[in-house]
Amino acid sequence: MKLVEISAPDFDLPITLGSGQVFHWREAGNGFVGTIGDQPVYVEQCGEILRMSCVHAEMARHYFALDHPLAEICASFPDDPTMNAARNFCRGLRIIRQPKWECLATFICSSMKQVAHIRQISKALRERFGVAHNIENYIVHTFPPARRLANSSENELRECALGYRAKNLLATAQLVRSGEADLEAWSALSDVDLRTKLCELPGAGAKVANCVMLFAYERLRAFPIDVWIERVLRQKYFPRARKLNAQRLRAFTQEYFGEHGGYAQQYLFHHARTALRQSGASRDSSTSKASAEALA
DNA sequence: CTCCAGGGATGAT
DNA sequence: ATCATCCATGGA
């Protein structure tokens, strides 16, 4: 198939797709296959050039957020050792623009799940309820629309390894299908009102709402706090702080990380999850055992 | 085998 | 208003 080339400076495709913000892309040939909305896509990167199967290159440019002024965004991060290490490690990582329902549904399935599990659930939902397409001799599946999942049963969803999340996904799918939850119209809401609306959906609390705001609504200030980020905050920004509740943590992140806090959060998350996995993540401060294991 | 994961809803203080 | 518990599942 003929590939289209577009310029993509200051962009790292593998790190962007592998940073835990999106879960359906898989390696294929020299690049990745997946979907952008209902379009099957093959995409590969060579230096500052992106080659893709897209008929509509503009759609991919928008999806991968190649218009984000990444240098300015990174420069707006706070200047401290932890943030600087993450910023250096994640060079070229962009927060992409995901379809709203797809993003919401996926993150409802994410609670108490490792990234590998979320990828597996996303795959199962797509293969069972989505539409299959052939791209570059690979089969990819679109994410099923809310009406499709709303018409399924809780048991069918459980067969996709959703566990107790099945009931929530089904209930939210029905709210979206009925129009009671109008995800597109919510784009006009303020951050506070949007978060309130998202939190009213079954299976969505503050963390999921912030993920959806950041990854699907372009609210780059939204700062999801999961177990990894909380670990980083407590260890690096509040070493030996007693009585540090969620409210206090949230207030700190909002004022300290600033207008692109969500971006900063994603850099901290990916750095902690990939680079610091063995050596830095142990709960107690005695590092002798962890260091010995890291060297083994 | 055990541990724990991009949490949320519910009920007890 | 905060805090503890339970919820399913499977990769590491």
Position A230 scores a pLDDT of 97
pLDDT digits (tens, 9 = 90+) for A114-138: 999 999 999 999 999 999 999 999 9
Q: How far is the CA of A274 from the C1' of C9 (A)?
A: 23
* A254 CB less than 7 Å from any atom of strand B: no
Q: What's the average model confidence in pLDDT over A150-174? A: 98
Position A77 scores a pLDDT of 98
* A20 CB less than 7 Å from any atom of strand B: yes
Q: How far is the CA of A1 from the C1' of B8 (A)?
A: 45
Position A242 scores a pLDDT of 74
pLDDT of A70 higher than 70: yes
* A118 CB less than 7 Å from any atom of strand B: yes
Give the mean pLDDT of chain A. 93
pLDDT of A280 higher than 70: no
* A98 CB less than 7 Å from any atom of strand B: no
Position A143 scores a pLDDT of 98
Q: How far is the CA of A113 from the C1' of B10 (A)?
A: 20
Q: Which nucleotides of C are covered by protein (CB under 7 A)?
A: 2-3, 7-12
* A209 CB less than 7 Å from any atom of strand B: yes
d(CA A289, CA A272): 19
Largest CA distance in chain A: 59
pLDDT of A285 higher than 50: no
Q: Which residue is nearest to nucleotide B9 (CA to C1')?
A: A203
Q: How far is the CA of A29 from the C1' of B13 (A)?
A: 57
Position A278 scores a pLDDT of 59
pLDDT of A31 higher than 90: yes
pLDDT digits (tens, 9 = 90+) for A180-223: 999 999 999 999 999 999 999 999 999 999 999 999 999 999 99
DSSP line for A238-282? STT--S--HHHHHHHHHHHSGGGHHHHHHHHHHHHHHTSTTTT--
CB < 7 A from strand C, the residues are A 112-114, 116-117, 120, 158, 161-164, 243, 245, 247
pLDDT of A100 higher than 90: yes
pLDDT of A85 higher than 90: yes
Position A218 scores a pLDDT of 98
Name every residue whose Cβ is closer than 8 Å to that of residue A53 and which is 6 or more positions away in sequence: A1, A3, A4, A40, A41, A42, A43, A135, A136
Q: Which two tokens mark A78?
A: 């706070």
Position A282 scores a pLDDT of 41
On whether the CB atoms of residues A225 and A246 are closer than 8 A, the answer is yes
Name every residue whose Cβ is closer than 8 Å to that of residue A84 and which is 6 or more positions away in sequence: none
- DSSP tag of A234: I
Position A293 scores a pLDDT of 26
